[in-house]
Structure 1
Amino acid sequence: MGVQSEQAVCPQVNIGEVRFPGFYIMSQFHIAELARRGTVEKVAGSTPTRAAYKMGPNFNFRINTRSVYPLGLPEEFAFVTVLRMDGSTVQKKWNIWQMQDLNGDEQLSVGLNGLAQSLEFTFIALDKQKQSVVFSFLPLLFNSRWHEIVLSVSRRLVTLFVDCVKIESQNIRTREKVNLDGYTLLGKLKDNPGIAVPFELQSMLVRCDARRPEREACHEHPANTASRIPPITRP
């Protein structure tokens, strides 16, 4: 995607003193406002200066996709989140972030599989077939510590970073555009998206620059650096 096209799709977002083209998912779901109303509980984040929020299971985090992505997602982007799972969530198969069509069929998602200890990126390819990219062998991600997860999605490649460490890159087919006449959800079971899972969320955003994570330090640094996961080496 060229610069002009990217700018058309992605608004400028301000987070503190940082300004970038993308989407701040926390504000899309009005999470801070819900905390002020008492609907969502505000908790301590990964450092003393960071705030986080308890997500699920009592509130349904679902919004209309077109209302927050009026021109869709860019062809290339980086998904960034800082979160912490509780004891019950680490064993579940659930989506951190998911887009559905009006029939409830999954179009794009970032999910965690506690039983397999893997992270999955799922999307619809140009041939209308669903493709899931699985990053396996991530046991140190499935605990009750804070972790930063970054998925860098380009035209032909998706790369996972966990706690500032590059884990692995995998080839993907070209993605189909997301159907905007549907819903975007947070923190739902993979096989039953009507059920929310409990976890703590500090930050979640989309950067309209897939290579940004490789050019800078962590956007948000989890407090427990001892939990960093080493890169995967394949035989």
Structure 2
Amino acid sequence: MKSVWVLRIFTISMFTHSLPAQDLTHEDDEDSLAGCRTAVNDLVFIVDGSWSVGYTDFDTAKSWLINITSSFDIGPAYTQVAVVQYSDAPRLEFPLGQHRTNQQLITALKSMKYLGGNTQTGRAIKFATENVFPTSQRTNVAKNRIAIVVTDGKSQDDVIQSAAQARDENIIMFAVGVGSEITKSELVAIANSPSTDYVLYAEDYTTIDKIKETMQQKICEESVCPTRIPVASRDEKGFELLVGMNINKKASKIPGSLATKKAYLLTSDLDVTEDTRDIFPEGLPPSYVFVATVRLKSPVTSQVIDLWRILSKRGEVQAAVTLDGTDKSVIFTATQIYADSQVVKFQDERLKVLYSEYWHQLKILVRNKNAVLFLDDVVIQTQPLEESGPIFINGKTQVAKEEKSNNSVTIEIQKLRLYCDPEQSERETACEIYSVNDPRVSTSYIFIFCNK
């Protein structure tokens, strides 16, 4: 079937996919926007200015800093940025809070002068811990304290003790290694654990911009995704919506897709609604993975339902995964930087099985430029997206509702999660689905992977 793409732009007063405001108004009438751009961060860059970097590459590093910080609102109520350049000794280029707008910060970053000298990374980390972070003017405001250490070679002093001191003081440590002269064990010693999340690499300064979006996403995850979901041998940043939405307490437990799995029965008389500020207090990250394992039964299989949605206090849909049983499609709604909403529709013959009254896993990988729909580990379709924006958090988050209505629907749910790390899309398989886990109907690769 031919792919279909739908994009609808709304103004704040003209949402067609909305609910009556009186049903959703929070006691706080003031609009509350939250997201990565509006996060409260104390962000300190510790940047290598030794002779091995050179004038040209140092200018490239400055451009990278400008590109990274452009995705955050700069100001007293949002992200504050400081920069420490280091060689033989650290030099504070500017402290936290000195620049109150994005343009002021860009001007300051462009004006930094290259130091030159040896590489005393440990000394620079200690300086930032003891002399930069403590100068924050927001001591009474909850904030994220994040340090990003950029280096192109091995330090000539000890970094282990300095980095440990920083982490002991609840400073989140990232390490960015550039070029072939870096020492991976040193970067691991600097960064938080696991190193796969907190250590980034670039081949050289000419390619460092390739990790710009990854660095922005990592900072954002620290800002908006404080919780962890135990998955296999690691904890993933994200939102366990079965717990957050109190489905595990409200709904009846039923057998799941496999004998080892449990699920929940949501009925039409069960209202699964929570305050968004309790579920997503800092908004949504720009990239994430939505995963739902569900079984749809008649009459839902021929209706249009919102499996999950975030509403503003006026009832406007800011994010949603909508299942359209009338034409067997899936619709995804998200915010947009320069408008209020964008909607993409996934329509493919293979989606018909989602409405066949059997267990299936639906997964949507959301990135800055596109959304990818998976069904039972099979890529169904990729659709373009514009950059997403913040959400209003003083509305409601709901599960299993009729589209454009507060009426609940009957549905069986085994998994409902939102992972902040887009790479989790590769690790999150549909092995809980019988047809995927059964060697008689699966490829040998998937079956072996599921049974590791």
**Cα separation, partners in 2 of 1:61 and 1:5, compared to 1, 3 Å:** same
The alpha carbon displacement at 1:29 in A equals 1.6
1:149 alignment counterpart: 362
Specify whether residues 209 and 15 from structure 1 end up closer, same or farther in structure 2 by C-alpha distance, changes over 3 A only.
same
Query: What TM-score do the two structures reach when normalised by structure 2?
Result: 0.47
The residue number in structure 2 matching 1:24 is 240
After TM superposition, give the deviation of residue 219 of structure 1 in Å: 5.4
Q: Which residue of 2 aligns with 1:33?
A: 249
Q: Is it true that 1:15 corresponds to 2:238 in the alignment?
A: no
- Does residue 429 of structure 2 align to residue 218 of structure 1? yes
The separation in 2 between residues aligned to 1:75 and 1:144, in whole angstroms, is 33
Give the residue type in structure 1 aligned to 2:296: M
Residue pairs, 1:104-123, within 5 angstroms: 104-123=315-334
- Distance in 1 of aligned mates of 2:327 and 2:387: 26
Using the alignment, how far apart are the partners of 2:330 and 2:219 within structure 1? 32
- SS of aligned partner of 2:282: coil
Aligned counterparts of 2:397 and 2:217: Cα–Cα separation in 1:
26
1:191 equivalent to 2:400? Answer: no
What secondary structure sits across from 1:71 in the alignment? coil
Matches of 1:28 and 1:12 in 2, distance apart?
11
Quote the offset at 1:156 in angstroms: 0.6
Matched, 1:67 2:245: no
Cα RMSD after superposing both structures: 1.8
Kindly provide the CA deviation profile for residues 146-195 of structure 1, in whole angstroms up to 9, marking residues without a partner as x: 00011000001100010011111111111121111111000001121x10
Q: Secondary structure at the match of 2:322?
A: strand
Amino acid at match of 1:22: G
CA offsets, 1:115-136, max 9 Å, x none?
1110000123222243211000
Q: TM-score, normalised by structure 1?
A: 0.88
Identity across the alignment (%): 24
Match of residue 232 from structure 1: none
Q: Residues of 2 paired with 1:188 and 1:160: CA distance?
A: 21
Give distance in 1, aligned partners of 2:231 and 2:338.
Answer: 41
- For residue 23 of structure 1, what is the amino acid of its counterpart? F
Partner of 2:66: none
Q: Which structure has the larger Rg?
A: 2
Taking the aligned partners of 1:220 and 1:64, their CA distance within structure 2 comes to 32
SS in 2 for 1:221: coil
Relative to its length, the structure with more helix (as a share) is 2
**Structure in which a larger fraction of residues adopt strand:** 1
Separation in 1, partners of 2:295, 2:375: 13
Cα contact 1:82–1:220 (8 A) shared by 2: no
- What corresponds to 1:178 in structure 2? 391
- The alpha-carbon distance between structure 1 residues 220 and 15, as it changes in their structure 2 partners (threshold 3 A), is farther
Match for 1:4: what amino acid? I
Whole-angstrom distance in 1 between the partners of 2:412 and 2:270: 13
Amino acid at match of 2:387: T
Tell me by how many angstroms 1:210 deviates.
1.8
CA contact (8 A) 2:224 2:283 kept: yes
> Aligned residue for 2:256?
45
Q: Determine whether 1:101 maps to 2:317.
A: no
What runs of 5+ residues in structure 1 fail to find an aligned partner? 35-39, 229-235
Partner of 2:416: 204
Q: CA deviation at 1:16?
A: 6.0
Q: Residue 165 of structure 1 aligns with which residue?
A: 378
* 5-14 or 196-205, larger mean C-alpha shift: 5-14
SS where residue 222 of structure 2 aligns?
helix
